[in-house]
Amino acid sequence: MSMQPLLIEIGIEEIPAGLSEKLQGNLAAAVDVLLKNHAIELDAGSWTHACTPRRILLHVNACPAKQADCDETIWGPPEKVAFDAEGKPTKAAIGFANKSGLSVADFSLADKGDGKTRYMQAVVHRSGCNVVDILAEAMPDILRKLPSPKQMKWNDGDTRDDAFIRPVRWIVARLGDAVIPFEYAGVKSGKISRGHRIAGSTGELDLHDPVMWLADQKVMAKREARIAHINRAMQVLCQAEGLKVVADDELVEEVSDLTEWPVPLLATFGEDYLRLPEEAIRITLKAHQRCFVTHDKAGNISNKFIAVANIESKEVSKVAEGNARVVNARLADAAFYYDRDPSETLDARVEKLNGVTFQEGLGMLSDQVRRMRSFVLDNARAIGADGNAAQRAAYLCKSDLTTGLVHEFPELQGYMGGVYARMDGESDAVAQAIAEHYQPAGAEDALPQSPEARAIAVAERIDKLLGYFHLGRIPTASADPFGLRRAAIGLIRLLADRTTAVEMTLDQVIHEAAKQWNQQRVTIAISHETEEQVKTFIIERLMGLADHLGLSKASIDAAISGNAQRPLYQHLAIAALLMGFADSESGQAVAAANKRIANILKKVGDVALDVDPALLLEAAEQDLYDKLCDAESSFPTEPEHQLNVLADLREAVDGFFDDVMVMAEDEKLRANRLALLARLRALFLRLADISRL
């Protein structure tokens, strides 16, 4: 079979950072599915994926030029339907044959292998299609269906009906020497590509090594290569100056998505701006100029910073000066607000929150602050926080939103609140809690170290969930505009952590937060139904985090479906125990028995837990009762020991089901045996619902 290189490159205007890799991945997946659906298998190791701000590229070293020929077996209706009593073809047979593009004479009668009857059968030889034709037909639709956050249309010539994330400027599509002919967004496919916008030129993209051809055109096509190059070049620059770059993987990825030929260079901002808090400098440089801050040998922030250009310049100093001008201007803005903001304390700014809307329909930000303050004051002990410090921090935690610096640089919210709190003479505990209360921002973000910050973080997240669910702003599969999934994930991480354990059940957290809404003198009341909706939503997010937590969904489900009077971190510790137990022979047997018990009890409805020993007629039920009583009377408090006790009941439970008829005809015997099973299930539920494993 003839094998040829496959090359597809879509050239576009600059794509926003963070999207080119997703587009390239989706394109590769769509092409792979297309080829597999046409029985064209490719070696996974032969793929090359590349993306830059101006292109997404796929390259396969060896792709079949043609589908393999094949014999296709077509089965028709059974003999009794296809032929009448005289052996003549019926309308059903003729119609099926015509639909298949054949005649009845092309069919024979054959057994499908079940020995029941014969069916019309024809074996048709299919010649393979040219892969060029398959791709040419499918590519416009593949490009049309690539998911992206926004699609745009443009009109710079002929009318274009197709939309894309950014205007399409060129398309390279080849299988060997043949061009894959198609048109998308007014652009016809061909062989000609473009190099770097300034330093490169146009030419025929190398069919066998497109990445090397692009490198000669000052395009570093592979994203991972750009990331590695940026990190390496920054290290070299810093070593020469005795500096150390402050690590920021997110920013490195963003810069790699904005450049085709990244060139890190060192620049300098005014030394006077070093009086600003380090995070204010870092965020200013990152948010407005995509630059990296550095530390000196003593570990202090330096006024040397690293910018990443998109081209090699003969006058590096000029490029550095240009970046410095922009950075100095931004730092001047930051310094202006930093000097002005402390003229008004955070305490004095609290009143301004009366004019800041929390969310339309949910009152003002000051209302939320009051709810959070009450929540942390009521539950500080359960969260391990100092009540006075926690309520004071909750009272002040949103005041920095009214400052000029946070208004100009929203990324500094919380952090600058902590800085200003220290300037106001607040305690370290209060300042740290304000600075950390937005943590964690996601599934990978660090948790707050301060227990007071954790208390506020719990209060804020559950308050937000209850409020938005009250309004019916529940996330859908495709949209979560208010970040409620992120809020739920943050809450789960706070409740699941053991370092500063939150000794509140999930129900308690939800109910205590709802109480603050309902006690506040506003028109909003959180219903029990809303509380249950929020709980279900949080548990769904918890299940989604199972892999991240190193647990199975079944073990989490079993743990949280048992004793509801446990904090979440204890439920997850039990889930970890159940992981190993579920895989053991004993665990599988106990789980099977629990499923059986649960099913029996579900069918009969409510069952009393009173067992009459006089009605235990069989030795096996007497044995189970005795062992159950022993386990109940000495049931340990540690989950690991509880699991051992429950596992030791396996033999008695197996004997009971082997020798005892639960649903006895005698009503009293039946009720007594059901009560015994209900008692047994109640004991298991003190640890977990093992039937869910």
> What digits encode the pLDDT tens for the residues 18-41?
899 999 999 999 999 999 888 888
pLDDT at 158: 60
- Specify the length of the chain in residues: 693
Please tell me the distance from the alpha carbon of residue 436 to that of residue 450, in angstroms, as a whole number: 7
pLDDT at 521: 67
Q: Is the peptide bond before 440 cis (omega within 30 degrees of 0)?
A: yes
Mean pLDDT over each residue of the chain, to the nearest integer: 92
Which residues sit opposite 59 in a β-bridge?
7, 48
200-220 residue pLDDT tens: 999 999 999 999 999 999 999
Q: Which residue has the higher pLDDT, 46 or 248?
A: 248
Pairs from 351-359 (Cβ < 8 Å, separation ≥ 24): 352/399, 352/402, 353/398, 353/399, 353/401, 353/402, 356/398, 356/401, 356/402, 358/467, 359/467, 359/468, 359/471, 359/482
Confidence of residue 237 (pLDDT cuts 50, 70, 90): very high
- In angstroms, the first-to-last Cα distance of the chain is 50
Please tell me the distance from the alpha carbon of residue 575 to that of residue 112, in angstroms, as a whole number: 49
Q: What angle do CA 429, 431, 435 make, to 5 degrees?
A: 115
Mean pLDDT of 46-57: 93
Give 669's DSSP letter: H
Please tell me the distance from the alpha carbon of residue 510 to that of residue 61, in angstroms, as a whole number: 57
Q: Which of 68-72, 101-105, 488-492 has the lowest mean pLDDT?
A: 68-72
249-297 residue pLDDT tens: 999 999 999 999 999 999 999 999 999 999 999 999 998 899 999 999 9
Q: Taking the CA atoms of the chain, what radius of gyration do you get in angstroms?
A: 34
pLDDT over 90 at 452, yes or no: yes
650-661 residue pLDDT tens: 999 999 999 999
Q: Which residue has the higher pLDDT, 627 or 152?
A: 627
pLDDT at 479: 87
Confidence of residue 513 (pLDDT cuts 50, 70, 90): very high
pLDDT at 191: 96
Mean pLDDT of 382-394: 96
Which residues sit opposite 120 in a β-bridge?
109
Mean pLDDT of 445-471: 96
- What crossing angle do the helices spanning 451-470 and 528-544 adopt, rounded to 10°? 120
Please tell me the distance from the alpha carbon of residue 112 to that of residue 121, in angstroms, as a whole number: 9
pLDDT at 115: 76
Counting residues of the chain whose pLDDT is more than 70, the rounded percentage is 99
Query: Alpha helix locations (H) across 441-527?
Result: 451-470, 484-496, 506-519
pLDDT at 443: 80
The residue among 403, 414, 374 whose CA lies nearest residue 390 is 374
Nearby residues of 573 by Cβ (< 8 Å), 6 or more positions away? 498, 639
pLDDT over 80 at 160, yes or no: no
Phi, psi of 266 (to 5 degrees): -95, 135
pLDDT at 410: 93
Confidence of residue 129 (pLDDT cuts 50, 70, 90): confident
Q: Which of 25-39, 58-72, 477-491 has the lowest mean pLDDT?
A: 58-72
Confidence of residue 193 (pLDDT cuts 50, 70, 90): very high
- What crossing angle do the helices spanning 568-583 and 639-647 adopt, rounded to 10°? 40
Please answer whether residues 268 and 304 qualify as being in contact, where contact means their C-beta atoms are separated by less than 8 angstroms.
yes
Q: Which residue has the higher pLDDT, 302 or 584?
A: 302
305-343 residue pLDDT tens: 999 999 998 899 999 999 999 999 999 999 999 999 999
Q: Which residue has the higher pLDDT, 100 or 435?
A: 435
pLDDT at 263: 97
Give 314's DSSP letter: S
Confidence of residue 589 (pLDDT cuts 50, 70, 90): confident
Please answer whether residues 293 and 273 qualify as being in contact, where contact means their C-beta atoms are separated by less than 8 angstroms.
no
pLDDT at 294: 97
pLDDT over 60 at 159, yes or no: no
Nearby residues of 344 by Cβ (< 8 Å), 6 or more positions away? none
Please answer whether residues 218 and 212 qualify as being in contact, where contact means their C-beta atoms are separated by less than 8 angstroms.
no
pLDDT over 60 at 664, yes or no: yes
